[in-house]
Amino acid sequence: MNPNAARVTTLGLRPDAKIRECLPTGIASLDAMVEGFPRGAISEILGPESSGRTTLVHSLLAASTGRLEICAYVDTDDSFDPVTAAAAGVALSQLVWIRCGHNAGHALKAADYLLHAGGFGVIVLDLCQVPPRISNRIPISYWYRFRLAIENTPTILALAEKEPIAKSCASLMLDLQRKKTVWTGAPGFSLLREMEFEAASRKPVRPATAVFKARALA
Amino acid sequence: MMFACIHGPSANLLQTAAAFSPSFEQTAPDTVLFRVDGLQRLHGSPRQIAEAIARHAGDKINVAIAETADAAILAARNFPGITVAPSLTGLDVATLPLTAEMAQVFESWGIYTLDQLAQLPETGLAERFGPHGVYLQQLARGAIHRPLKIFQPETTYEDRIELDHPVSLLEPLLFLIARLLNDQCERLLSNAMAANEVTIHLELENRTGHTRTLRLPVPMRESKSLLKLLQMDLEAHPPTAPTLAISLQLKPVHPRTVQTGIFLPITPAPDKLELTLARIRGIVGENNVGLPELLNTHHPHPFRLANAQPKIANPQPPIPNPAFRHYRPALPATVDLDRNRPIRITAPGIHGKVLNAAGPWRTSGDWWTTSVWNRDEWDIALTNGSLYRIYLDSQRRDPNWFIEGSYD
């Protein structure tokens, strides 16, 4: 009798693997690629400046508040712009904004309190402007603790950053980059009209990429 | 049913009523009404009950027992001494709550007694005086059967403890505050109320006072939550000297009622969320936590942070829109210009040639206040691969170029 028979019958899934509900972002190409952001798990949104990380975060928040959920934005470097968030469809009356004044330690503590309070749809931990030399010093135990706190809840913890931090604790890792910028008008009278971003899924690995556009309001 | 009414100048009318019935109505400061059904086995006939009440109330008190509440009131107000099952037919109509116009009309009609009023046709009375006329006739007929409006003593939510010895540590102080809070929250619960404001006043050894007021975005009545909020507030704002006395006051309001639904998503419990946000405020500062609210202005930062509980809004579909990230504070930059257009930027951590630039977008406002702004904004793409918004602040001297943030 094959001792691994039980594993074979799981059709390739690990016995402890969970099928998680996902929250679609409203970006069709991205949702087709990864089905949305998994609930009860950590997701990482990576990329350099102007790569579309914040645009994707706003779409995620808009999708969550559109489902009447309460969300939280832990803003490490005080960079959140409510005007463009509202224009992206985020219901600001359902969003708790925490300004951490360039202190990553405060941001982690605030995120910890929020995760343990429970009941949130999406909690965004914005570490986009935290230099990697600081973000790499965050102990991995934080991410294990966060993962455990939301494991059996519908909460999504979305980390926006330059480089991967949560690594093995993250269930979804999206790598973003800017593909194209569209300027309209004659030289000297041009207007920033559209930005096109490309998202690749590092985890789970997907061969195809998703391209999405963000069009400036006229 | 049998009602007793006591009427007179005595100061202990309420005590007298409470001696005979647990629930009573204070119709007026000098009139108290209560039911006496079931007192026959204790005192005997209705007259004996009335005599017992009169003995308890003392002199100069009128006692009346009747089948309806309003008949008892009329009798107690108009017949001296003890009256049992009174006949009100001969009473003057002026004893009823008439308006001046009605009194004049009744006099012109020759209606002087309740008996005469009771015999008038009801339809005609309704046509002439409306519902109030019909009500008066029902009163005159003794035909109004109504329940008592039970007297509720006013509940206060203010307590004070004086200490034998001054207390300087927060922990024993909280132990005493918890005692006060438990009592007051019990009172809130028994009156189906909640509190939206908690005020604590500490009288200190150096003859000064320390007052803290917590304004709660959502009414609460759980003593544990309120105690935790007070603890965090007192930790952030400790008294300057040992405490000699504690006064605690709650502002009662009706509790929040929320329609829940089986298909609605789970949201944070209001009191738990308030506690969580209070903890976070203790870390990041009081003014750095809240809900963003957009202001109706063209100011570059048209928002404020509101200290309120999240509120479900009408759902909107997501719209992919370029997001903006602010640098707060804005980064001072050195900008090289060619024919008034930026061609190169140098700032802390950001430098490069300008590949494309859109602008200038000139905005200004609030020139009538001290927070005037006047700036020329540009959207630029740099050789480092990023898109920024920069501006020239015309209100400032060098450095007057700044990077406001990036499109992301």
Residue A5: pLDDT above 50?
no
Helix (H, G, I), strand (E, B) or coil at B259: coil
Report the pLDDT value the prediction gives residue A11, as an integer from 0 to 100: 52
Taking the mean position of all CA atoms in its chain, how far away is CA B297?
A: 31
Q: How many CB atoms lie within 10 A of CB B334?
A: 12
Give the start-to-end residue ranges of the domains of chain A: 20-215
pTM summary value: 0.76
Q: Average pLDDT of B114-134?
A: 90
ipTM: 0.90
Provide the percentage of residues in chain B whose pLDDT is more than 70. 100
Report the distance separating Cα B356 and Cα B117, nearest Å: 95
Report the distance separating Cα B354 and Cα B276, nearest Å: 45
Helix (H) or strand (E) holding B190: helix B170-190
- The shortest C-alpha distance from B193 to chain A (Å) reads 25
Residue B10: pLDDT above 80?
no
First-to-last CA distance in chain A?
69
Query: Tokens in use for B126?
Result: 């309704």
State which residue of chain B sits closest to A180, comparing Cα positions: B385
Least confident range of A49-58, B140-149, B330-339: B140-149
Beta-carbon pairs below 8 A across chains A and B: 213
- The shortest C-alpha distance from B307 to chain A (Å) reads 10
Closest to B82 measured CA to CA, from B62, B52, B109 = B62
Report the distance separating Cα A117 and Cα B271, nearest Å: 10
Report the pLDDT value the prediction gives residue B325, as an integer from 0 to 100: 95
Report the pLDDT value the prediction gives residue A16, as an integer from 0 to 100: 52
CB contacts of B405 in chain A (<8 Å) are 79, 81
Q: Average pLDDT of B345-359?
A: 91
Confidence of residue B60 (pLDDT cuts 50, 70, 90): confident
Helix (H, G, I), strand (E, B) or coil at B70: helix
User: Residue A211: beta bridge partners?
Assistant: A198
- Residues in CB range of A190: below 8 A, 6 or more apart: A183, A184, B356, B357, B358
Report the distance separating Cα A169 and Cα B194, nearest Å: 42
State which residue of chain B sits closest to A48, comparing Cα positions: B386
CATH class of B3-141: mainly alpha
- Residues in CB range of B58: below 8 A, 6 or more apart: B10, B12
Do the Cβ atoms of B291 and A213 come within 8 Å?
no
Amino acid sitting at position B372 = V
Report the distance separating Cα B255 and Cα B191, nearest Å: 11
CB contacts of B317 in chain A (<8 Å) are 26, 62, 66, 89
- B299-331 per-position pLDDT tens digit: 888 999 998 888 888 888 888 889 999 999 999
Q: Which CATH superfamily is domain B158-253 in?
A: DNA polymerase, Y-family, little finger domain (3.30.1490.100)
Taking the mean position of all CA atoms in its chain, how far away is CA A113?
A: 19
Give the start-to-end residue ranges of the domains of chain B: 3-141, 158-253, 324-407
- B98-109 per-position pLDDT tens digit: 888 889 999 999
Provide the percentage of residues in chain B whose pLDDT is more than 90. 53
Taking the mean position of all CA atoms in its chain, how far away is CA A149?
A: 17
Residue A15: pLDDT above 70?
no
Q: Which residue from A63, A93, A178 is facing B313, i.e. has the nearest CB?
A: A93
Helix (H) or strand (E) holding A117: helix A104-117
CATH class of A20-215: alpha beta
- Residues in CB range of B82: below 8 A, 6 or more apart: B47, B50, B51, B54, B62, B63, B64
Q: Average pLDDT of A84-89?
A: 94
Query: Tokens in use for B354?
Result: 């300008």
Confidence of residue A186 (pLDDT cuts 50, 70, 90): confident
Report the distance separating Cα A143 and Cα A150, nearest Å: 11
Residue B68: pLDDT above 60?
yes
- B168-215 per-position pLDDT tens digit: 999 999 999 999 999 999 999 998 999 999 999 999 999 999 999 999
Confidence of residue B218 (pLDDT cuts 50, 70, 90): confident
